[in-house]
A and B are shown apart, each in its own frame.
Chain A
Amino acid sequence: MNQRKKVLLSWTALVAASMLAGSQPSLANEELGKLSKDPKQWVMQSGDYANQRYSSLKQITAANVKELRPIWSFSTGVLRGHEGGPLIVGDVMYVHTPFPNIVYALDLNNQGRILWKYEPKQDPNVIPVMCCDTVNRGVAYGDGKIILNQADANVVALDAKTGKELWKVANGDPKKGETMTGAPFVVKDKVLVGISGGEFGVQGRMTAYNLKDGSVAWKAYSVGPDDQILFDPQKTMNLGKPVGANSSLSTWQGDQWKTGGGATWGWTSYDPQLNLIYYGSGNPSTWNPKQRPGDNKWSMTIFARDADTGVAKWVYQMTPHDEWDYDGVNEMILADIKVKGTPVKALVHFDRNGFAYTMNRETGELLVAEKYDPAVNWATHVDMKTGRPQVVAQYSTDQNGEDKNTKGVCPAALGSKDQQPASFSPETGLFYVPTNHVCMDYEPFKVSYTAGQPYVGATLSMFPPKGESHLGNFIAWDASAGKIVWSNKETFSVWSGALTTAGGVAFYGTLEGYLKAVDMKTGKELYKFKTPSGIIGNVTSYEHGGKQYIAVLSGVGGWAGIGMAAGLGGDTDGLGAVGAYRQLANYTQLGGVLTVFALP
């Protein structure tokens, strides 16, 4: 009772304080912001609001990481691809699974004993509506609640202590191809939730629900009329200029925007000082560019929106009129760095299209746009005045047209990087990026839209760049110069989120199943351990009982799992044995396991 009174009191004080400051009450924000600064915990999927995936813990160092060993492990009981990672809040670890989207609360004081388990009842008919496996990128924490985005587009709030369902809302309709794979993101008293379904012609949107009861605070579509996309024609800026009226509608033919895609299945970040949230939108639907003339705004776009109202402050479209499925949903990493000598509140984004963008996150000014994989060939460069990529005619699937096979486009539709998040180290000032090194042939063809049916309209085949046999790299990136500092080859795409630490060690997982530790300065491999299955999850660090731990989910699958059985690349490419060598199935099999590592 006393404690409750105290909480109430401090809450009242907080409300009073924030009212004085002229902003809205935001208890969850205060708590979460504070918790995210405690390196012993890992309270949001990306570690902090800035999406840096950096831990200031430094027990594990470049000198001693070779002593690292698995301490305990936990089977999730689910076979499909395991993306995302666990949260650590106080003495409890929260572990999620792909469909059926089980959530476990594990007691860190008792070797991971299960405190509670939540398993939603979902119609399995949602499974085939999900593009590329039934992955889920993790739960969010805020205001004493665990928020889960279910595959069937329901958002559920659970009592973090008991697992009891507190509220549940439908964020979409799987019968229209609307599903959820992305992680929710808590900001202040709201939880931000995106939607998947770019291959089913959904109208992408970001929705803010009130954490308290699940009611809608605001909803901002990626494509459509100004009142639906929450744009102010005069105040919403694009590269320093107001977007003007109907900035999305004028770039679509007729009603095509209604099935125009721009899904929001990636990551969200937040700058508390600017009170802006950042995220990207995905591909315009269909994959056949001939069928949807125009720039198809605002698909493939970085959005900076007011966290309270959802109104867009600035936007930038990276790939106008997409012809290759280069979704713009990858994470926006917020970092205060020097760009060409000047300190900038920067936003750094490694896009699927193979360019790494450094922007001023306050104004939306484009500062740097360079290729982060030398194989990228679909555009020569980004025009820094217009912000438009300069497309190479040979690789334009639109110019080559329907029923024509455009060959050797790099990167493949997987992108030079997909959703697997990169990490930023404030100490080295560098970004550590898991990448794909894959090219494709792409042939668009005419399709018709049917609600709930695939709306793709292109066939593609994927293979490594000409003359090469590795499919991935792990790189260190200088976002000021726009240059690769070092690059490690990987046999397969690196589909695991990176972690950097104050101990000078960066971690990531590989599709074969290795957890790897590398020296952040040189990239030198310092440690590896083969977990039970391929890793597409993100690496996490926390401290408990005075000890630093590294945790990661293994469980191969996702889009990476699509080439698993036979490997990428045809048997016509003359690589023979190398082709066979690329078969992931020879290295790993399915199964979700959380592995926790520590020094002895």
Chain B
Amino acid sequence: MIPREILEKPYQPYGDSPTIKSYTLWSLYDEYYRELARGGIGVGGDSPVPDGYDVVIAGTRFVSDKINASRTRPLGIINPGASKPLQIHYHLLGKAYRLNLSNTNIRIASTIPDQKSFTPQHLVINASGKTSILLDVIGGFSRSLRSLVVEVNVEKNSLLDLVIINRDTKYAPSYIVVGVRGEDYSTIKTTYYTRPGPMTRLEIKNLLDGRGAEAYTRGIAVSRNNERLDNIVDLINRGADTYSHHLFTALLRESSIIAQRGTGKITVSAVNAGVEYYSEGLIQSPNALFIGQPRLEIDTGNVRIAKHAAHNTHILPEQVFYLETRGIDKMRAELMITEGFLLRRIISRYAMEIIKPLIVGELRKIINP
């Protein structure tokens, strides 16, 4: 089913440091691929269709009574050979579903079958005008390995407000890739919130091809227990006068591990472009681990701004003391600081409305587990 040459390939042909390799649980993916190769598990299958969504990708099925989707080929924003899981995804993928969205607000859910299987899901979206998309990636009790690829093309002069909620659970690993390409003078706001599973790889790729295009990416992660997140965000500026900005904040508790990495790149053609990349981890356990690897690749001297920073931090006693002097007890003070850390600088009001309750709920669970 899967050619031997793909199965024997390393997960990353380049780029992964030994540090990353030692903390990412590739063996969980391998378990599925080996069983797939043996015929022990199947591809896809049916899965539940939750209420309240305009579109549901249920397993490999497209369900919507509002929007028609056409079957299509992948758009090409994501390189099929970039990693081993992607090669397997493209090898086993039947067809992608295509949505044409214009001046609309749409809620999309992705669910996977409960039984152990491999579920490739591929969505191609063309957005024009002002479009908001909520992509809710639901884990539930499923034991299926999700391989979700979403490719979005944002047309000239358009605005896309994309919110991704990833709710992986402890039952299965997942591999999620979102690629967004911006045409001339388009604006892309991507906000993602993730609760990783035993091994979650979440890749976001912004390609600013058009002149004057802008992309703002804001990532938030909360991880507990033994959850592992490998989050890669690449900001590729290829058009002149483009600008991209990324901020990632993560809360790490118990024995969780988060690696946040990626490249801010300005190519030779991106004259007067700018890129800013920031990544911060708030560690609340001696056993948690945050690995920050923001990279910059600047191929031209004609650059407007190119900055990156990574920082790991913890709650400072001074911060808690200040709030305590205002009559707030220690526990509440620490929660306020954490909430402020996770929710700061979310520039999309739409995203804030969706993500804030999730974060608050998550923090409540920490007080009353």
Partners in one complex: no
Which positions in A face B, CB cutoff 8 Å?
none
Which positions in B face A, CB cutoff 8 Å?
none
